[in-house]
A and B are shown apart, each in its own frame.
Chain A
Amino acid sequence: MEMKETHPIDDLIRTDRIPHIWCSGCGIGIAVHCFLNAIRKSGIPPKNFAVVSGIGCSGRVAGYVKLDSFHTTHGRPIPFAVGLKLANDRLKVVVFSGDGDLIAIGGNHFIHAARRNVDITVICVNNFNYGMTGGQAAPTTPVRARTSTTPYGNFEFPFNLAYLAAGSGAVYVSRWTTLHAKQLEDSMLEALGKKGFTFVEAISPCPTLYNRMNKLGTALDFMKFCKEHSVIRHGADPKTANIDLRGDIVVGRFVNVERPTFTDFLEEGLAQGLPHRKALLDEERKEFEHE
């Protein structure tokens, strides 16, 4: 009898696009697995999800998930997602991308979407360098680290993404490493269930480039490092939640606060001056649902 091998999350994966492009040992796959499990557990119908990615290794996530998925330009998944979400409020819009995409070229979009508290979830795989283009320095690259464009070491100070997100207005901010698959998944589930700009950072090895160039060993070595040097501090001030790849990585859920979303605040405000608007929106929603 022929056995057909299936995986429990196959129905959320474009299996016709497998094998994927990611290197063995890369953490992106773990983050995607956590994400798809979280979607399952969320109880939100898959047809309501839209995933938007930018460019880079993590930017390829949109191409592998069997959901409405948009692979946009470098740095631009967030403003695209903002348009998508505002045009159709019933969608659960998730931006899944990397640190270079979201924080370097896309940094301006990141802080403004957080400031507005647009109701989207942003998942950022942070592997401290640009993987797709061959391991160049990123705004997350630790000081003194080697990359292909910092052959003498990196002498710029990196962003602390959790602190940046919190300072910009995100209502939910967490950080885990890809070792913490269970916590990462739970955190994604929490973020998906919360209204407003929610941010999950997944610290990930890039064994092919960053970890190799910085003599951090194999992917397995990095997992061991994460096990031994991760310090869980829920509720920690993100300002003090450091990532030291030669010391400790502070992980946990740092921020979980309430603030009206862009849409809720806007509609509340518009309702004062435009009392007929609500009826218009209801009418439109009905039209969308009819199909």
Chain B
Amino acid sequence: MKAEKSILSGKHFFQGDTACAEGGIYAGCRFFGGYPITPATEVAERMAERLPAIGGIYIQMEDEIASMCAVLGAAWGGRKSMTSTSGPGFSLMMENFGLGIMTETPCVLVNVQRAGPSTGLPTAVGQGDMMQARWGSHGVYEVIALCPSSPQEAFNLTVRAFNLSEKYRLPVLVMMDEVVGHMTEKVVIPEPGELEVVPRRESRVAPDAYLPFKPDADLVPPMVRAGQGYHIHVTGLTHDERGYPVITKEAQEKLVRRLCDKIRVNRKDILSWEEREAENADVLVVAYGITARIAMLPIQMARKKGLKVGLFRLITAWPFPEERLRKLAGTVGGVVVPEINYGQMVFEVERCVAGKAPVRLVSHMGGSTHRPEDILNAIMDVAKNK
């Protein structure tokens, strides 16, 4: 269908989950394979209603393992595809998330984080999957994970997730949280063409000369889809540029290093964050998702008490904006990291600050957002002891 007609340009009052689904549609997603799980179900429900009406396919699979596989299959069938999940479902998707990394399959996986471990608090917020997003599938690899802080950003970052997945050929993670997923706010959907939409990176090479995993200069190989007469072979085994399995340490070195380097080398293009008065702050708060918004109140309270407090909001959690944070670390008096877990992204912050300033985690086991005074106390404390 003409993309224009499928995009609901204009002002809406959407929850983050719905905005995610609409972001996918804006980016050209026409296949959704999913499985119901709170608090991500509304993404699937929106897709179940919208995709059939615009020529797309919605299928509810038998579990999250199957959902992730179907999304990969659909991508090789030529459609932009996505799934959404939470908690235990994210764990189940990790197996074939790895297959997507290994086979360089573009698609998007939305995780609306809830509090765990295990079934945990199915209807309440958590940010405990940030390290799982980075390392949850086995083996050596790099990921891209984006963290929206509002329904509007859920829309925009889902579009961006699709763009990055097509550009760098990998499954991209949207690491939302339950509060952003379920919070309803104004969302503006731009006119078609206003936001960039990256198409599939198609190969123009003739079938005889085509090597499915021979990268371009930016380390990313162009793609074909099934049915075009290329007779491609795609495997989760370590493979060469023909896509054939090669079970040697040399092939492993060449392939896996490239899979990582295509993200590492292009990190400047991928990285994204927001700063508010971050330079030369007495205290810098580093946060993401809903916690970055919650932190604004204690930041303002501390400013009223005469402190210079800045915010560094992660938009890409992975890759982590380490160069910038390293630079800022030398200019600030101390760093406070509130997150709805017992310390995950704080390890990255500590690595970058590297002892140049004290770093204080404000942990919270989940089920609600932080109490502003807990963050305020940490800010005051760090300021006092810096």
Contact = CB atoms under 8 A, between A and B. Distances in A.
Interface of A: 14, 16-17, 46-48, 50, 52, 62-63, 66-73, 76, 78-88, 90-91, 108-109, 112, 270, 274, 277, 280-281, 283-284, 288, 291
Given A63-B245, A71-B236, A83 B1 contact: no
Contact of A83 (B62, B63, B74): B74
A207 to B, nearest CB: 24
A92 to B, nearest CB: 9
Nearest to A84: B73
B192 interface: no
A277 B61 CA distance: 22
Given A72-B99, A277-B55, A109 B62 contact: yes
19 contacts: A52-B73, A63-B244, A69-B231, A69-B234, A71-B233, A71-B237, A76-B69, A79-B62, A79-B67, A80-B70, A83-B31, A84-B226, A86-B57, A86-B74, A87-B73, A88-B225, A112-B66, A274-B53, A280-B54
A78 B63 CA distance: 13
A176 B61 CA distance: 31
A68 B52 contact: no
Contacts of A63: 233, 235, 244-245
Contacts of A47: 227-229, 231
Interface of B: 1, 31, 33, 52-55, 57, 59, 61-63, 65-67, 69-79, 81, 95-96, 98-99, 225-237, 244-245
User: For A79, A81, A288, which residue has the most chain B Cβ atoms within 10 angstroms?
Assistant: A79
Given A73-B236, A87-B74, A87-B81, A68 B226 contact: yes
Contacts of A91: 77, 226-227
Kindly list the 5 A-B residue pairs having the minimum CB-CB distance in the complex, ordered from nearest: A87-B77, A83-B73, A280-B55, A83-B70, A79-B66
Contacts of B74: 83-84, 86-87
Given A72-B72, A281-B55, 11 more contacts: A63-B244, A66-B231, A67-B231, A72-B96, A79-B62, A83-B74, A83-B81, A84-B76, A86-B77, A87-B74, A283-B55
Contacts of B59: 82, 86
A186 B79 CA distance: 34
Contacts of A281: 55
A273 B118 CA distance: 40
Query: Secondary structure at chain B's binding surface: helix, strand, loop or mixed?
Result: mixed
A267 B77 CA distance: 19
B47 to A, nearest CB: 14
B231 A68 contact: yes
A261 to B, nearest CB: 13
A69 B244 CA distance: 11
User: For B65, B67, B71, which residue has the most chain A Cβ atoms within 10 angstroms?
Assistant: B65
User: For A82, A281, A284, which residue has the most chain B Cβ atoms within 10 angstroms?
Assistant: A82
Nearest to A45: B229
Contacts of B233: 14, 62-63, 69-71
Nearest to B231: A66
Given A82-B73, A88-B226, A17 B52 contact: no
A62 B77 CA distance: 16
Nearest to B61: A79
Nearest to B245: A63
Contacts of B237: 71
Nearest to A48: B227
A71 B1 CA distance: 32
Given A47-B229, A90-B227, A91-B77, A283 B96 contact: no
B227 A79 contact: no
A69 B242 CA distance: 12
Contacts of A73: 69, 95-96, 98-99, 236
A73 B65 CA distance: 10
Contacts of A16: 244
Contacts of B54: 280
Nearest to B69: A79
B11 to A, nearest CB: 25
B192 to A, nearest CB: 16
Contacts of B75: 83, 87
Contact of A50 (B33, B53, B69, B226): B226
User: For A46, A71, A288, which residue has the most chain B Cβ atoms within 10 angstroms?
Assistant: A71
Contact of B227 (A68, A76, A280, A283): A68
A66 B232 CA distance: 8
A132 to B, nearest CB: 12
User: For B31, B77, B98, B99, which residue has the most chain A Cβ atoms within 10 angstroms?
Assistant: B77
Contacts of A277: 52-53, 55
A284 B226 contact: no
A92 B16 CA distance: 38
A84 B77 contact: yes
B1 A284 contact: yes
User: For A66, A109, A270, which residue has the most chain B Cβ atoms within 10 angstroms?
Assistant: A109
B85 to A, nearest CB: 14
